Amino acid sequence: MFFDPSYIVLVLIPTLLLSLGAQLFVRSAYNRWGQTRNSSGLTGVQVAERIFGRTNVNSLRLEQAPGELTDHYDPGSHVVRLSEGIATRPSVASMAVVAHELGHVQQHQENSALIQMRTFLVPAVRFSPTIGYFMIILGLLLNATGLFWAGILLFGLMVVFMILTLPVEIDASLRGLRLLRESDLLVAETDTSGSRQILTAAAITYFAAAITAVLQLLYFISLSRR
């Protein structure tokens, strides 16, 4: 595939450009707003505690995660893990990232339909991309059409998962903004504009990943016609 000109032009180059553009936007937003103090002077952990106290999001454990921008909500353990820069700095970026993760917490606590659909697919997509790739390549090598299409179907599960992830992430960001508003944390214009830019940057990374997955799937389907 990597020596196929159509793969290079239609998949590899757009994927690299999308990924690079998304990463540059995220890094630019984080560098700017990670150095801008939020008006309340609260660290990421303090922002989470304020949201727990003033909204309908039930309190849960906060832990520190190694690395940078490794923040995430673990629904299995009911834990929000925050990177050191987010947990300990009173920046606009800290405020926005924490609110986004608590948006995911609220989705799970309210049994959001979007999150239920994505959670339903998690067991299926855990191994389907790897097995799907293997079956596609084996199907091509053996000229086995049935095996090839079975691999495409398995890979397609991952694509559906990626597409469903996008509205889940956008919804978490919208919820995050509402949580910040309800907690009286959007005091100055910089709080609002900075939080929106950080949350938009996060959504763009998932958008790029979804487009990449769709391009790969379309390429695999196009191989069946050759």
Contact status, residue 69 vs residue 83, Cβ threshold 8 Å: yes
- Going from the C-alpha of 172 to that of each of 16, 34, 100, 162, 169, the distances in angstroms are 26, 20, 6, 15, 5
Distance CA 38, CA 192 (A): 10
Give the 3-state DSSP-derived string for 171-184, with helices as H, strands as E and coil as C.
HHHHHHHHHHHHCC
Confidence class for position 140, pLDDT limits 50, 70, 90: confident
| CA 39/CA 29 separation, integer angstroms | 18
State percent of the chain over pLDDT 70. 98
For residue 220, give both structure tokens: 């695999």
Higher per-residue pLDDT: 146 or 46: 46
Active site residue 101: yes
Assigned token pair, 191: 């709080």
Lookup result for tokens 């990463």: 23
For residue range 77-95, list pLDDT tens digits in order. 999 999 999 999 999 999 9
In this predicted structure, what is the pLDDT of residue 2? 52
Residues 210, 155: contact at Cβ < 8 Å?
Answer: no
Q: Give the phi and the psi of residue 33 in degrees, each rounded to 5.
A: -85, -15
Q: Please, what is the average pLDDT of the chain?
A: 91
Is residue 159 a contact partner of residue 217, using CB atoms and an 8 Å limit? yes
How far apart CA 93 and CA 33 sit, in angstroms, is: 5
Question: What pTM did the predictor assign?
Answer: 0.88
Catalytic member of 101, 169, 182, 189 = 101
Ramachandran sector of residue 59 (left: φ over 0; alpha: ψ -120 to 50; beta: rest): beta
- Contact at 8 Å (CB) between 68 and 56? no
Residue 226 has pLDDT above 70, yes or no: no
Query: Using CA atoms, how far apart are residues 41 and 43, in angstroms rounded to an integer?
Result: 7
For strands 72-74 and 79-83, give the pairing. Answer: antiparallel
CA distance 24 to 32: 12
Measure the CA angle with vertex 99, ends 95 and 100; round to 5°.
120
Between CA 142 and CA 162 the distance in angstroms is: 29
Sign of the torsion angle spanned by Cα atoms 50, 53, 54, 57: positive
Average pLDDT over residues 140-148: 87
Identify the residue whose tokens are 């700095």.
Answer: 89
Q: Please state the rounded mean pLDDT for residues 159-172.
A: 91
